[in-house]
Amino acid sequence: MNATITTTARYVPKNIVTNHDLEKIMDTSDEWIKSRTGIHQRHFVGENEATSDICTHIAKSLLEKRNLSPDDIDIIIISTVTPDMLAPSTAAIVQNNIGASRAWGFDLSGACTGFLYGLETGAKFVESSQYNKVMVIGVDTMSSILNLEDRNTAVLFGDGGGGVILEQTGDNSGIFDSILKMDGSGGPFLQMPAGGSRMPATIESVENKMHYIRQDGRTVFKFAVKGMADVAEKILEKHQLTGDDISLFIPHQANKRIIDAAANRCGIDSDKVLINIHEYGNTTAGTLPIGLSEADDTGKIKNGDLLLLAAFGAGWTWGSMLIKWDTLS
Ligand SMILES: CC(C)(COP(=O)(O)OP(=O)(O)OC[C@H]1O[C@@H](n2cnc3c(N)ncnc32)[C@H](O)[C@@H]1OP(=O)(O)O)[C@@H](O)C(=O)NCCC(=O)NCCS
């Protein structure tokens, strides 16, 4: 018995920030950002808008699309590195916002691979037959941890997310298999040093801009192409599949050049690769579920299609997942 995705939804904040907007506040150009990353714009939250607000939009859409009552939900899993606060969890805030009084849940930190970690975790609960309906949301409000003086990093990210409801499926469909990886030696290359127990907030930590995400872009780039392509190739091989058997490849959206290189290595034609980085930038745990929901809503995928998902991110974390599409929405 596999877990299947029966419903998808997404939400991005209304406020659009174009590359030209960034040109006004940092030493960058629309031409550089487009040609080096493929990003044209991103969405940033408005004042008083936070991760749980994005999640609440997504959760309500999921319930409405699947015609469920909040009490039907057993577990809420929120994959994010930008929770509203460290305690309580964003899952608890969302549970209260939507009135899912029967649900328990938790936040899960897997950076850009967070949605795959969340799906795998949620699927195991469903497959255990102890829980019927698990809501998994991948979301990030990256604008809350961006240093707008750091052009190497700030231009890449945006805010938003998406989610799914996982349920049991009786037949040979749903989440087939996954390969998930982690290598903590990559930590220093992509991190937000302060704000946790290692470096609690002090005047110095704030003045030294330690509460912002920072990275070694070139090292991340190399790891990303190799990591994402390695696991995607491996999962295809394991099931005696080739790129031709895949109906749609949904890769993490961090850089168009990373996506092209990974798809190329896996032998997947460019017309089968979902790309929306130009609209949203890198929404961290949000990219995969936003892509999945767009593909679902626009009829890019139909029941029986084989989907390949792949992601990489801070940690290092990376992974790939095979899904036979069987949504009911
Ligand atoms: C960050 C990234 C876009 C940089 O692209 P790149 O082609 O490797 O560019 P480089 O780092 O070699 O920098 C080239 C030049 O552009 C400059 N540059 C960097 N950011 C710039 C910006 N936003 N605007 C204009 N110039 C910029 C650099 O300072 C450098 O100038 P220099 O040659 O005078 O030193 C790319 O490395 C990348 O996407 N890495 C992965 C990052 C990522 O995905 N992180 C999240 C993972 S989940």
pTM of the model: 0.97
Lining residues, ligand 1, CB within 6 Å: 28, 32-33, 36-37, 112, 151-152, 155-156, 190, 215, 217-218, 220-221, 224, 254-255, 282, 313
Question: What percentage of the chain carries pLDDT values higher than 90?
Answer: 95
Active site residue 48: no
Task: Read off the pLDDT of each residue in 235-239 and give the average, rounded to a whole number.
Answer: 96
> How much is the mean pLDDT over the chain?
96
Q: Would you kindly state where each structural domain of the chain is located, as residue ranges?
A: 2-171, 175-324
Mean pLDDT to the nearest integer, 106-134: 97
Whether 2-171 shares its CATH topology with 175-324 is answered yes
Q: Which of 179, 102, 107 is nearest to 136 (CA)?
A: 107
Q: How far apart are the first and last CA of the chain?
A: 20
pLDDT at residue 259, as a whole number: 96
Provide Rg for the chain, Cα atoms: 19
Q: Are 213 and 188 in contact (CB under 8 A)?
A: no
Q: Which of 2, 252, 255, 266 is catalytic?
A: 252
For residue 152, the CA-to-ligand 1 centroid distance in Å is: 5
Mean pLDDT of 54-63: 98
Predicted local distance difference test score (pLDDT) of residue 2: 87
Q: Is residue 2 among the annotated active site residues?
A: no
Query: pLDDT tens-digit profile of 254-313?
Result: 999 999 999 999 999 999 999 999 999 999 999 999 999 999 999 999 989 999 999 999
Q: Which amino acid is at 74?
A: D
Which CATH number is 175-324 given? 3.40.47.10
Residue 224: Cβ within 10 Å count = 26
Dist. CA 33 → ligand 1 center (Å): 9
Whether residue 55 lies in the annotated active site: no
- Give pairs for 221-224: CB < 8 Å, separation 24+: 221/255, 221/257, 221/258, 223/186, 223/189, 223/312, 223/316, 224/252, 224/254, 224/255, 224/258, 224/262, 224/312
Task: Please state the atom number of ligand 1 nearest to the C-alpha of residue 313.
Answer: 48
Q: Whose CA is nearest to atom 23 of ligand 1?
A: 151
Share of the chain above pLDDT 70, in %: 98
Q: What's residue 172's pLDDT? A: 73
**Catalytic pick among 112, 152, 255, 276:** 112
Q: If you take atom 41 of ligand 1, which residue's CA is the nearest one?
A: 221
Q: What is the pLDDT of residues 125-159, one digit of tens each?
A: 999 999 999 999 999 999 999 999 999 999 999 99
Q: Which tokens hold the place of 20? A: 């030209």
Mean pLDDT of 188-197: 96
Q: Whose CA is nearest to atom 44 of ligand 1?
A: 254
CA 163 – CA 5 distance, rounded (Å): 10
Structure tokens at 86: 């460290």
Centre of ligand 1 to C-alpha 278, Å, is 17
Local confidence band at 1 (pLDDT 50, 70, 90 cut-offs): confident
For 83-95, write each residue's pLDDT tens digit.
Answer: 999 999 999 999 9
Residues 248-266 pLDDT 10s = 999 999 999 999 999 999 9
Question: pLDDT at position 235, please?
Answer: 97
Q: Looking at residue 288, what is its pLDDT?
A: 98
The CA-atom distances, in angstroms, between 259 and each of 130, 160, 177, 229 are: 37, 20, 21, 9
Nearest partner of 117 among 326, 325, 285, 295, judged by Cα? 285
Quickly state the pLDDT bin for 329 (edges 50, 70, 90). very low
Q: Which residue has the tokens 């990376």?
A: 318
Which of 100-109, 169-178, 236-245, 298-307 is least confident? 169-178
171, pLDDT greater than 70: no
Output the six-digit token pair for 142: 């990256």
Are the C-beta atoms of residues 151 and 69 closer than 8 Å to each other? no
Structure tokens at 323: 């899904």
Indicate which residue's Cα is closest to atom 26 of ligand 1.
Answer: 28
Superfamily of domain 2-171: Thiolase/Chalcone synthase (3.40.47.10)
